[in-house]
Amino acid sequence: MLSVVITSVNGYRSVAPCLASLERQPDRARMEIIVVEASGDRTATRISAEFPTVTVIPHRQPCSLPELRSVGIREAKAPIVATTKDSCVFERHWSRHVLAAHTRYSDAAIGGAVEHDAGNSLVDRAAHLCEYGPFMLPFRPASVRSVPAPNASFKRAILQATCGDLLERGVWEHVLHARLLARGMPLRLEPSIVVFDTRRFGFVQFLLQRYWFGRSFAASRIATASTSTRALWTAASPFLSSLFLWRYARAAVRGRRFGLFVEAFPLLVSFALAWSVGEFLGYALGDGGASQRVT
């Protein structure tokens, strides 16, 4: 059995294709689908009417994506729990590949590819490279230090035993990954497990998303850090843009998309700067409500 937890914050038009693609999975009978819905409109009601076998958990108060995700994970009942977001659709045999990978491997978490399926806009393609460059096909099966939140799956008993307190706090996925690795729980990336991200962005919209995400990331990172460590990260953060650009270039080369890196370079510079500014302010001033603005 597989529980699929979907965070839904962008309305029915976004989550309906996601649910429809899950309903078409050949192993649908072996899946529990949970939508934690916080769009602030009638989306929860529409999901219940159009997808009656889906469990919908309305969540009206302001909440971050990892907090919503944690609500769904705590509700899940299957031995394997997968996480995704409302803008993703799934390869035809996605659930079968997830279950097969967890049968084959003992890794606590197994992730897959996140491919771009949001049209040919340069902004959208650059945004996808920023967010999911390390998880674009092609790649080989490998042990890794992180898996993509929109295409991650966990052995639920291990996750709850190892990270139960973190789930209660609703932390970002990099904190979960660090805890699992620190406790000797390996993570794995499998190319057969594929989702497609259909989210589209305007330039300013994604620039703000990078800023808010960077600030939220930094604030969560210093939650348990010493004063000296916080000061060091704050001082280093203005120099992060070059590091991000190097990472984008590396992902583009590995994913055979270096032409995209060259074409989108001015956009990528802007996105890297936005994250760096957000991370600097996150270290210096804290979250400032950033986590609730990341969608």
Q: Which domain CATH number covers 60?
A: 3.90.550.10
Cβ atoms of 222 and 283 closer than 8 Å: yes
pLDDT of residue 229: 83
pLDDT of residue 142: 96
Looking at the structure, tell me whether residues 187 and 221 fall in a common domain. no
Q: Is 43 helix (H, G, I), strand (E, B) or coil?
A: helix
* CA–CA distance, 193 with 159 (Å, rounded to integer): 20
Please identify, among 168, 197, 226, the residue that sits at the C-terminal boundary of a domain.
197
Looking at the structure, tell me whether residues 190 and 220 fall in a common domain. no
Q: State the Cα angle at 138 between 143 and 112, rounded to 5°.
A: 50
Looking at the structure, tell me whether residues 137 and 225 fall in a common domain. no
Please identify, among 162, 197, 232, the residue that sits at the C-terminal boundary of a domain.
197
Please identify, among 139, 171, 197, the residue that sits at the C-terminal boundary of a domain.
197
Looking at the structure, tell me whether residues 208 and 147 fall in a common domain. no
* CA–CA distance, 109 with 154 (Å, rounded to integer): 4
Looking at the structure, tell me whether residues 97 and 131 fall in a common domain. yes
Helix axes 173-182, 203-221, angle to 10 degrees: 40
**Tell me: the pLDDT tens digits for 161-191?**
999 999 999 999 999 999 999 999 999 999 9
Looking at the structure, tell me whether residues 179 and 230 fall in a common domain. no
Looking at the structure, tell me whether residues 69 and 120 fall in a common domain. yes
Element (H, E) at 155: strand 152-155
Looking at the structure, tell me whether residues 162 and 230 fall in a common domain. no
**pLDDT digit of tens for each residue in the chain (295 aa)?**
999 999 999 999 999 999 999 999 999 999 999 999 999 899 999 999 999 999 999 987 778 999 999 999 999 999 999 999 999 999 999 999 999 999 999 999 999 999 999 889 999 999 999 999 999 999 999 999 999 999 999 999 999 999 999 999 999 999 999 999 999 999 999 999 999 999 999 999 999 999 999 999 999 888 777 888 888 888 888 889 999 999 999 999 999 999 999 999 999 999 999 999 999 999 989 999 999 999 9
Range of the domain at 117: 2-197
Looking at the structure, tell me whether residues 180 and 227 fall in a common domain. no
pLDDT of residue 232: 87
Cβ atoms of 8 and 15 closer than 8 Å: yes
Cβ atoms of 125 and 206 closer than 8 Å: no
Type of residue at 247: R
Residue 146 DSSP symbol: -
How many domains would you assign to the chain? 2
* CA–CA distance, 130 with 42 (Å, rounded to integer): 32
Looking at the structure, tell me whether residues 92 and 75 fall in a common domain. yes
Looking at the structure, tell me whether residues 78 and 43 fall in a common domain. yes
Looking at the structure, tell me whether residues 210 and 134 fall in a common domain. no
